[in-house]
Amino acid sequence: MLSRIAYLTVLFAFATSAAAAEPDGAALYKTKCASCHGPDGRGDTPVGKALKIRSLLDPRWAADDAPAAIAKAVREGSQGMPAMASKLSAAEIEAVAKATRDLARTATAP
């Protein structure tokens, strides 16, 4: 009986920690965004050039409040970019927004 309780406790702890894990925003950016925006965020890809995508390295995307605006653009679409709300979960959208902000911060760092 005790081993069964211990087993269930471990199983529950594992399931809880797995559910609480935040999505990997950098990996999501790489798989969902980089084909158009480029791995560096400059939009210097064939698709990016064709669609005249603006660089994500603009300093405004490095601001502390930028993830909210980025998440809105990802969720609803923006200037030719399709809405991703049906393709990404809310947590994934938030994670990719933070990763995009971090990409901009890295590019604008002194």
Residue 90 resides in a domain: yes
Are 96 and 90 contacting, i.e. CB atoms less than 8 angstroms apart?
no
pTM given for the model: 0.76
**Domains identified in the chain, total number:** 1
Q: Distance (Å, rounded) from C-alpha 44 to C-alpha 35? A: 10
Provide the residue-wise pLDDT of the chain in tens; the chain has 110 residues.
556 565 556 556 555 555 568 999 999 999 999 999 999 999 999 999 999 998 999 999 999 999 999 999 999 999 889 999 999 999 999 999 999 999 999 887 76
Residue 8 lies in a domain: no
Is 93 a member of any domain? yes
Answer yes or no: is 11 within a domain: no
Domain-embedded: residue 38 = yes
Q: Would residue 62 count as lying in a domain?
A: yes
What CATH number is associated with residue 79?
A: 1.10.760.10
Domain that residue 27 falls in: 23-108
